[in-house]
């Protein structure tokens, strides 16, 4: 199916926002980066915030589909998939143009917890938590919800550390900690 003009705009805006941030990317920059006129943008989105929400929905779908599929490709057991999450993250971190997590950025630029952009970012993290909790349950780990939250803390820390280029292998470091955490919570 051929993408609509709206879909094309959201895809191009995603790249611009990811590269430059949400606040720094004004409508004039979006016109320049996307090649789509302001008139056309406002035809599809009443406000820049509406466009940001559409971008976040697209990024959520793309990221989750990629991450979950990659975890399944790398491992065939729930426990293996939990650890494979960090291998997948390592691949992402090494991509040209890696700029960190769009949802962390969005929630830091729109800090009011009641703001729709902040809520959309938090929802992305909740959806990831649900999936990771299910895998931890299927892996028969003790306290699967707690383990899932702890694994996600390692994931988020690795993402930020990779963005800051603080260490050479944050995904591998997080994977070691995740393996230890999972071993400590293995069911007897």
Whether 3 is in a domain gets the answer no
pTM value is 0.92
Could you give the CA distance from residue 106 to residue 57 in angstroms, rounded to a whole number? 12
pLDDT computed for residue 4 by the predictor: 84
Over residues 47-73, mean pLDDT: 97
pLDDT tens profile 119-170: 999 999 999 999 999 999 999 999 999 999 999 999 999 999 999 987 889 9
Place of tokens 């490709």: 73
Could you tell me if residue 29 is inside a domain? no
Q: Tell me the CATH number at 114.
A: 1.10.357.10
Q: How many CB atoms lie within 10 A of CB 157?
A: 15
Asked whether residue 83 is domain-assigned, the answer is: yes
- Tokens read off for 165: 């280029």
DSSP state for residue 97 in the 8-state scheme? T
With cut-offs at 50, 70 and 90, classify the pLDDT of residue 36.
confident
Is residue 137 in a domain? Answer: yes
Query: Which contacts (CB < 8 Å, 24+ apart) does range 181-188 have?
Result: 181/147, 181/150, 181/151, 181/154, 182/79, 182/82, 182/83, 182/139, 182/141, 182/147, 182/151, 185/141, 185/142, 185/143, 185/147, 186/140, 186/141, 186/142, 187/140, 187/141, 187/142
Tell me whether residue 11 is in a domain. Answer: no
Q: How far, in Å, are 72, 83, 131, 146, 161 from residue 141 at the CA level?
A: 18, 13, 14, 10, 27
> pLDDT per residue over 76-94, tens digit each?
999 999 999 999 999 999 9
- Position 2 in a domain: no
Tell whether 135 is covered by a domain.
yes
Distance CA 162, CA 86 (A): 12
Per the listing, tokens 């991509």 go with 95
33 assigned to some structural domain: no
Q: How many domains does the chain have?
A: 1
Domain that holds residue 62: 57-184
């Amino acid at each position: 199916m051929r993408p609509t003009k709206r879909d094309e705009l959201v895809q191009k805006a995603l790249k611009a926002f990811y590269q430059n941030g949400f606040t720094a990317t004004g409508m004039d920059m979006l016109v320049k980066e996307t090649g789509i006129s302001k008139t056309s943008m406002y035809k599809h989105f009443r406000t820049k915030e509406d466009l940001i929400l559409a971008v976040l929905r697209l990024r959520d779908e793309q990221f989750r589909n990629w991450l979950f599929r990659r975890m399944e490709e790398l491992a065939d057991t729930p426990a293996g998939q939990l650890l494979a999450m960090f291998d997948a993250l390592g691949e992402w971190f090494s991509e040209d143009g890696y700029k960190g997590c769009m949802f962390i950025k969005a929630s830091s630029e729109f800090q009011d917890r009641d703001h729709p952009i902040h809520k959309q970012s938090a929802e992305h993290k909740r959806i990831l938590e649900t999936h990771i909790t299910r895998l931890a349950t299927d892996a028969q780990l003790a306290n699967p919800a707690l383990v899932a939250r702890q694994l996600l803390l390692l994931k988020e820390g690795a993402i930020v550390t990779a963005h800051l280029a603080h260490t050479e292998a944050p995904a591998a470091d997080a994977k070691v900690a995740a393996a230890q955490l999972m071993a400590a919570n293995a069911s007897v």
